Amino acid sequence: MELTHFDEEGRSRMVDVTEKEATFRVAVAGGKIYMKRETLSRILNKNIEKGDVFGVARVAAIMGLKNTHHLIPMCHPLNITGADVYFEPNLDESYIDIKVSVKLSGKTGVEMEALTGVSIAALTIYDMCKAVDKEMTISDIMLLSKSGGKSGEFIRGQK
């Protein structure tokens, strides 16, 4: 597999997508933030002093994914046409499962945007709850699926 973020002399560069065809693309990323049971309970009962944790984290995720090109040096600025953020609390293991889906019709994928959205959502949850739980752990941030583009479909765990 050829690495496309380097020129002939090994210098990093932004990939030239000028001649590529625009296609419909979707990427879904996920991650988890583990916390004390009391912290999760406070989030679910809307008893965190900084406000609605899921509401703020959702907005932060969308703002973050729209600004991925400002954070990751070789990412293209993209015209994102849709983004969804989902939070699923797991009471048994005391974590929140985060999923972010990003869509567009364009010349390059949205995997980095989905991953950035998950990361920013998790960091926002941490920030909003750190006064009651500094031991929260963010983990398992990964691409779950992507479709569109030259490389086609990817679903984690499938060949």
Locate all alpha helices (DSSP H) within the chain, ordered by sequence. Answer: 37-44, 53-66, 68-71, 111-129
Among the listed residues 84, 97, 127, 140, the single catalytic one is 127
To which residue do tokens 């929260």 refer? 136
Measured between alpha carbons, how far is 18 from 15 in angstroms, rounded to an integer? Answer: 9
Which residues, in sequence order, are CB contacts of 16 under 8 Å at separation 6+? none
End-to-end CA, the chain: 16
Q: Nearest-CA neighbor of 99 among 145, 55, 66, 53?
A: 145
Residues paired with 87 in a beta bridge: 98
Instruction: Give the tokens for residue 77.
Output: 């600025």
- 133 as an active site residue: the answer is no
Instruction: Give the tokens for residue 81.
Output: 């046409």
Measured between alpha carbons, how far is 20 from 36 in angstroms, rounded to an integer? Answer: 48
Which residues participate in catalysis according to the annotation? 127
